Each structure stands twice: as structure tokens, then as C-alpha cells.
Amino acid sequence: MAILHLENGVTYTDLEDIRRELSALNVNLNRWPVGEDPEIRRLLGEASLDDNQKQQVLQSLDGYFKELQETAGYQSRDLIVLHPDIPNLDGLLAKFEQCHTHADDEVRYIIEGEGVFGFVGVDGGQMELVIEAEEYINVPAGTEHWFHLTDTKRIKAVRYFSNTEGWTPEYTNTKIRISRDSAAAVLG
């Protein structure tokens, strides 16, 4: 279940309230079921996946990809699997933990684990959105944001691309004022 924490201390857990707050940024948040296939569920429970297993998971979710190809022109997708045993995980994630934008949309379908997207609002206020399994997010091109993992440091996410060139972070040097601890406190 998504949780939105605003810089002013207000927290939203209802999906419609969260969507309303994100609408000024044109950020799209939806719930997409992964399905009940026991083999896919087993694979999602594994800490890491080899390339064949990743392909098996992606194929099981092809309906969403085909829909995005038709409605939004996405051309490719991959599956990223992050867990605490990856060497230099913190170093790999550091480039996304700073305020940045992208020339292309950042589109993620979280299928296991959880992460946090932070946003700078149109009024300059900041917010952090905790997203979990079966949640899909589209952060439009040019939206000032950042990303970090929760303390579990575990996520499996399908990334959708119209092209991979527009996905390079362009840093804005905006100071993040909202505390990671405030989002963590909401998680309990």
C-alpha cells in the first residue's frame, strides 16, 4: 500500500488522496496485480534472479507491457533486482538519491519489495512516496525527484522505456529537506 508523506507532516494512505496530491506533478500511480501463478510467486520470493528467470517473470507480465506499448509508445523493458547482497549497492543507488530530472518518463512497476520516490512540488514543497509490490508509477519527464530504497534494501521492478538515452539523471542541486526518517516512521 502506497504511503505519501508531505514535508508539512501530513500523511496519506488512501490511493485516491495520494493520486490527488500527485496530480499537480502529473505523476501517475496505479495498482497492478502480479497474478497468482505459483512459479512467478516463487521467483519473486528469491533474493536474486538469473537472466532466464527475469525473462520468465517479464513474460508473465507482458499484458501490461503490450498495453503501455499501445497507449504510451514504450519500446522496451527490463527487470531490475536489488538486494542487500549486491556488492556496492549503496554506491550504485547514490546517483538516484539526489534531486534530478530525466528527459524521458521514469516508469516503474514494483513487483516485489519497496522503494521511496521523493518529489519537489510545484510550490517547492517536498514529499516522499513509499511504493510497494503491485504498484505502478509514471514520473513524467522533467519532474524533479529522487529515489532511495527503504531499510529492507530489496526491490524487484520492471522498468519501461521509450528509449534509454533520456533516462540519464540531470542533477538539479535542490537540497532535499524532507527526512528519510519521516517516511520510515510511517512504515513503522
Beta carbons of 166 and 39 less than 8 angstroms apart? no
For residues 31-60, average pLDDT = 96
Environment class of 75 (CB within 10 Å of its CB; exposed 0-12, middle 13-18, buried 19+): exposed
Q: In this predicted structure, what is the pLDDT of residue 181?
A: 54
Judge contact between 160 and 77, C-beta under 8 A. Answer: yes
Binding site members:
100, 102, 106, 145
**Stretch among 74-88, 101-115, 117-131, 164-178 having the lowest mean pLDDT:** 164-178
Quick check: 137 and 27 in contact, CB under 8 A? yes
Q: Which residues pair with 117 in a beta bridge?
A: 129, 147
- For residues 44 and 54, give the distance between their C-alpha atoms in angstroms, rounded to a whole number: 10
Q: Which residues of 107-137 are buried (b: 16+ CB within 10 A; e: fewer)?
A: bbbbbbbbbbbbbbeeeeebbbbbbbbbbbb
**Averaged pLDDT of the chain:** 92
> Is the pLDDT reported for residue 74 higher than 60?
yes
pLDDT for 144 beyond 50: yes
In order of their start, the domains of the chain are: 3-187 (2.60.120.10)
Look up cell 500523511; give the residue. Answer: 11
pLDDT at residue 166, rounded to an integer: 62
Q: Which of 135, 155, 123, 159 is nearest to 21 (CA)?
A: 123
Residue numbering of the annotated binding site for Fe(2+) = 100, 102, 106, 145
- CA nearest neighbour of 153 among 67, 62, 98, 90: 90
Provide the pLDDT confidence category of residue 188 given band limits of 50, 70 and 90.
very low
Measured over the CA atoms of residue 154, residue 27, residue 158 and residue 39, the dihedral's sign is positive
DSSP string, 102-149: -SS-EEEEEEEEEEEEEEE-TTS-EEEEEEETTEEEEE-TT--EEEEE
The string of pLDDT tens digits covering residues 113-135 is: 999 999 999 999 999 999 999 99
Identify the pLDDT of residue 34.
96
Q: Is the pLDDT of residue 165 over 90?
A: no
Q: How confident is the model at residue 168 (pLDDT cuts 50, 70, 90)?
A: confident
CA distance 48 to 53: 9
Query: Model pTM?
Result: 0.91
Q: What residues are designated binding site for Ni(2+)?
A: 100, 102, 106, 145
